Structures are given as structure tokens and as C-alpha cells.
Amino acid sequence: MARPVVGIIGNHYLLNDQYPTHAGGTMNSEAIAKVSDCVPLIVPSDPAYVTVEELLETCDGFLLTGGRPNVHPEEYGEPETEAHGDFDRARDAIALPLVRACVERGQPFLGICRGFQEVNVAMGGTLYPEIRDLPGRMNHRMPPDGSLDEKFELRHDVTFSDGGVFHELMGASSVRTNTLHGQGIKTAGPRIVVDGHADDGTPEAIYVEGAPGFTLSVQWHPEWNAAGDPVSRPLFCAFGDAARDWKERGAAPALKAV
């Protein structure tokens, strides 16, 4: 039987500072292909080329990737400021309604970094433009210098709710993760369950309450060393299982807390 297809939400980049592209990091494709055991398909996240309805019919699940541009604050009712950084309104126009449609249908998605923030905004939540400027918070941004190994180094702990979905999946109440983000959750959407926090209180793991499918999303980057990392591997394996369930039965079972 053919493997499930996972749509990897792409980002807009200028290749050589002049050639427009839709792209996704190789590590995302590798995690989906080798750990989730699904077919990775880069999605041009722009309503000029695809519709949400077409994506739902084409793919069995979706990987909402990280990306440098941020969700535009208009999407959560706040004015744009310089602190909000760069934007990708075309991706907003695909990713946000896609999340809501997947939640309604039970079609699985895994949110990572910007994708984590997209899930919160799509479900009615808001974001801080810069976590490191908040009292008592650490700098969660990627180190500006160094090798990829150094930039993706495990830098802080995430503690899960006792007996919650992530605790059950990871088999641990606390795990060590990387951190490469500037923004973060300000207010959680009405159905967003914050199931894990960094030591400074920053939300790091969420899911959508009552959703019939897989909606787990994380603020860190589990695609780095996904096959070898004991935190990343179960996350991508569970997501792959959900995509297979969707492909085989047209529905993905929701993970439930013990």
C-alpha cells in the first residue's frame, strides 16, 4: 500500500536574493519520510496556486513548519509594529483556514515553531511579538553564530502536564529541547490546551481540545535529528500513525490523556 502523503507547508524565499521560491528544509522532509514513514510533499503556501479544499483532498496530513516570517498580528486583532518582524500573508491565507478545517474534519497535522503559533492563532489565540523582552523570560531565539549543531543545541527543559497527552507520548514528565523562536503564545485560544511549558513559563506544547484528530504542536524544532532524538522520534512516529489512520479509514483517532 502506498504511504500516506504529508503536505509540508512551504515558505517563500528569494534564492540568491532575487529568484522567488517555495521551499522547505530538508530536515522536515527527512523526518516525514524516514521517521513518520510518509511521502513528503512541499506545498506552495499561497492561495494564488492552491486552495485549502484541494490540499485536504490531496494530502493525508500536514506539517506546519517553522519559518522566519511571523503570523500577521491583524490575524489576532492587534496592530502591526516593528517588533512583529517580517510577514508572509500568503502563508497566513493558507495555513490558518487549513488548521481550522483539519480540526473540524479530524485530519492530522503537526505544528512546529511558526506552525505552533499558527495553530494558536487559527483557534482564536494571540501572540507576543518578542518573548525575550518579557520580564523573567529567557532569550528563546536561535544563536546568531555557530554551526547548525550549535544552533540546534538542546538549551532548555519543557515540563509537561502530569498525565497529559505529551507526558503519555514521551513517557517522561520533562524533556530537553532546542529553542529557535522569537514570538510565543500570549493568550491561548479557547480550545487550545497548553500541555507543556519551558522553565520560564513560555508555552511549548499544545493540542486542540476535543479535536477528533492529531493536533499536537510544539514551539521547538523536533525535525532536527528526528530519527536519533528520543523526544523527536515518538512525536513524528505518532504523527505518521495518525496520517496512516486517516488514509486507511478517513479518520484519525484523537490522543487522550490518561
Distance CA 193, CA 207 (A): 5
Q: CA-CA distances (angstroms) from residue 116 to 63, 88, 195? A: 10, 15, 13
- The pLDDT averaged over each successive group of 10 residues in the chain (258 residues) is 94 83 92 98 95 97 92 92 83 97 97 97 95 85 81 90 97 94 94 97 97 97 96 98 93 46
Q: Which residue(s) pair with 110 in the sheet?
A: 63
In a domain, 121, yes or no: yes
Assigned C-alpha cell, 32: 516525514
141-175 burial, b at 16+ Cβ within 10 Å, e below that, comes to ebeeeeeeeebbeebbebbbbeebbbbebbeeeeb
Distance CA 176, CA 198 (A): 10
In a domain, 92, yes or no: yes
pLDDT number for residue 251? 57
For strand 217-218 and strand 203-208, is the pairing parallel, antiparallel, or unpaired?
antiparallel
In a domain, 257, yes or no: no
pLDDT number for residue 258? 28
How many Cα atoms sit within 13 Å of 20 on the Cβ side?
4
pLDDT number for residue 136? 87
In a domain, 256, yes or no: no
pLDDT number for residue 257? 39
For residue 137, give its domain range.
5-249
CATH number at residue 33: 3.40.50.880
pLDDT number for residue 150? 83
**Cα 92 from chain centre:** 14
Assigned C-alpha cell, 146: 555557530
In a domain, 107, yes or no: yes
| 47 DSSP 8-state letter | T
Number of domains making up the chain: 1
In a domain, 76, yes or no: yes
Q: Is 42 helix (H, G, I), strand (E, B) or coil?
A: strand
In a domain, 162, yes or no: yes
The enclosing H or E element of 11 equals strand 11-15
Cβ-contact 60, 6 below 8 angstroms: yes
Cβ-contact 8, 29 below 8 angstroms: yes
In a domain, 255, yes or no: no
| 70 DSSP 8-state letter | B
Q: What is the DSSP string of 101-162?
A: HHHHHT--EEEETHHHHHHHHHTT-EEES-GGGSTT----SPPSSS-HHHHT---EEEEEPT
